[in-house]
Chain A
Amino acid sequence: LLSDEQIIRQVLKGDYEGYRELVQRHQGAIYCLAYRMLNRAEEAEDVVQEAFVRAYSNLSKFRDRARFAAWIRRIAVNLCLARLPREIPSEDVESMLDAGMSRDDLVQAEVILRMERGRVREAIAKLPADYRTAITLRYEEDMPYDKIADLLHEPVSRIQVRMHRAKKMLAQRLAVMLEDAV
């Protein structure tokens, strides 16, 4: 199995069909990322196609070829951000900061929520776009705060605050969901 770097080298030498292998290798991760951020299948498909077409156009300029996965993800995130409306959280964030779930609640919730991942994803999908993006990049893509800040062109301090508030909001919504479930 050829590495991404080897495939890119072949594509740049003229093996145009080799790029199909790269697309097939990474399209699943990019689609999931785009779908989580945008909540729409059609838009996620558009982002996947646009991201790979853009990457192909700039392939000769891409130097760090071993990190194609990170590069295509960065392109996709930027495309998603351009499509996201700049939502303002409708809920009173400050009041939610004190509405976190207790430890016992969460231990109980963990068992239930692990069986209902679809509902957790639903709760994440209903977060404001900025929060959803931060949560997705951190927990789906495993990106540290400084990388998220770099990707979103924002200071790390703002990402820290956003992550904190996003978790609180999510905890509150999961608590409500659990109450309904119980």
Chain B
Amino acid sequence: MQCKEVRDKLSRYADGEFGGRAAADIKHHLNECQACRSAAESLIALQSIVSDSLKERIPYPDLSSAVMSQLSAPKRSALKPTWAWAAAAAVLATVVILAYQWPTTSPPQAPARVVHMPPIQRQLAAKQHNARRQESAAAQSIHRKAAPPIVTRMASPAHKHFQQREAAKTERRTASVDNHLRISIDVVSVASANSDSGLRVVTTVESGGVLLTQVHQQEITKQEEPLSNAEEIERPPLEEGRGRFLSRPSSSGPVPNT
């Protein structure tokens, strides 16, 4: 092996790039040639210095939090549409369920339903109603605790004065569909000096503490006394803890129309 050939390969040899026969040939030449051996030692010394200086760790900042914050952003945004759709679907389903399970709901400001009866029929109906009411008074008192069981919609424009009345009693029913979705139903009983009364029902749907929707319903009502020019509507009580209405056997059916 000639010196020029060895010198050309010396850098790679010093870096351990040759093995087997090639490395043995170079090593053999270096044992015999002082000049090439000196050049090889110089290279190895240089590499050792460079390697040592580079291996020395330099101070570095902890970037783990910066990295993790960049990872969470795309993950959250990727999940966002799914969650939004799930929440929207849950709200829609809730509204539909409530609409079906609350037979007396009516839109805000909707005029009250009125049944007109001749005077003699009204008197007859009132007598029949009073008799039934006395028989079922005990059963009704149980349901009054949850919500007024019987309300009578008025034909008068009393609903215009609804907002002037003071809330006398508020009952709240809360149901949690899962860890995030929470439905609250507030039933506010109101009363006024002229004996008119009413109910305001506020259905609130929240997700993770954020208000998603709130539905306001109100009804102008008057207690049973006296029954006149009216139609009885039975309101089932709320089921404790689930936020939905239970059907119950009718204790006082609708006033006959004849």
Residues of B within 8 A of A31 (CB): 58, 60-61, 63
Give B50's nearest chain A residue, CB to CB: A139
Complex: A121 Cα to B67 Cα, angstroms = 28
Chain A CB within 8 A of B84 CB: no
Q: Mark A17-57, 1 if CB is under 8 A from B, else 0.
A: 10110011001100110011000000001001100110010
Complex: A164 Cα to B17 Cα, angstroms = 13
Give A142's nearest chain B residue, CB to CB: B51
Residues of A within 8 A of B38 (CB): 102-103
Q: What distance in Å separates the Cβ of B186 from its nearest Cβ neighbour in chain A?
A: 39
Complex: A103 Cα to B44 Cα, angstroms = 10
Q: What distance in Å separates the Cβ of A152 from its nearest Cβ neighbour in chain B?
A: 16
Chain B interface, number of residues (Cβ within 8 angstroms)? 36
Q: Which residue of A102, A114, A163 contacts B49 across the interface (Cβ within 8 Å)?
A: A114
Chain B CB within 8 A of A171 CB: yes
- B45:A106 contact, CB within 8 angstroms: yes
Residues of B within 8 A of A174 (CB): 46, 49
Complex: A24 Cα to B62 Cα, angstroms = 7
Complex: A171 Cα to B39 Cα, angstroms = 12
- B53:A20 contact, CB within 8 angstroms: no
Complex: A167 Cα to B7 Cα, angstroms = 13
- A144:B60 contact, CB within 8 angstroms: no
- A49:B66 contact, CB within 8 angstroms: yes
Complex: A170 Cα to B53 Cα, angstroms = 13
Are A52 and B67 also in contact (CB < 8 A) when A100-B39, A110-B48 are? yes
- The majority secondary structure among interface residues of chain A is helix
Q: Mark A87-110, 1 if CB is under 8 A from B, else 0.
A: 000000000000011110111011
Are A117 and B12 also in contact (CB < 8 A) when A20-B68, A170-B46 are? no
Q: What distance in Å separates the Cβ of A102 from its nearest Cβ neighbour in chain B?
A: 7
Q: What distance in Å separates the Cβ of A92 from its nearest Cβ neighbour in chain B?
A: 19
- B58:A32 contact, CB within 8 angstroms: yes
Complex: A139 Cα to B58 Cα, angstroms = 15
- B71:A120 contact, CB within 8 angstroms: no
- B54:A124 contact, CB within 8 angstroms: yes
Complex: A20 Cα to B38 Cα, angstroms = 49
Q: Which residue of B15, B47, B48, B64 contacts A23 across the interface (Cβ within 8 Å)?
A: B64
- B45:A16 contact, CB within 8 angstroms: no
- A19:B39 contact, CB within 8 angstroms: no
Chain B CB within 8 A of A145 CB: yes
Chain A interface, number of residues (Cβ within 8 angstroms)? 48
Q: Mark A106-131, 1 if CB is under 8 A from B, else 0.
A: 11011001100110110010000000
Q: What distance in Å separates the Cβ of A156 from its nearest Cβ neighbour in chain B?
A: 9
- Given A36-B54, A167-B47: 15 more A-B contacts, CB < 8 Å: A16-B71, A19-B71, A23-B63, A27-B60, A49-B63, A53-B71, A110-B48, A110-B49, A117-B53, A117-B56, A139-B55, A140-B55, A160-B12, A171-B46, A174-B46
Q: Which residues of B contact A (CB under 8 A)?
A: 11-12, 15-17, 38-39, 41-43, 45-58, 60-64, 66-68, 70-72, 75
27 A-B pairs whose Cβ atoms sit less than 8 Å apart in the complex: A19-B68, A19-B71, A20-B64, A23-B67, A27-B63, A32-B57, A35-B58, A36-B54, A49-B63, A49-B66, A52-B63, A53-B67, A100-B42, A101-B46, A103-B38, A103-B39, A103-B42, A105-B42, A118-B53, A121-B53, A139-B51, A140-B54, A145-B15, A160-B17, A163-B12, A163-B15, A170-B50
Q: Which residues of A contact B (CB under 8 A)?
A: 16-17, 19-20, 23-24, 27-28, 31-32, 35-36, 45, 48-49, 52-53, 56, 100-103, 105-107, 109-110, 113-114, 117-118, 120-121, 124, 135-136, 138-140, 144-145, 160, 163-164, 167, 170-171, 174
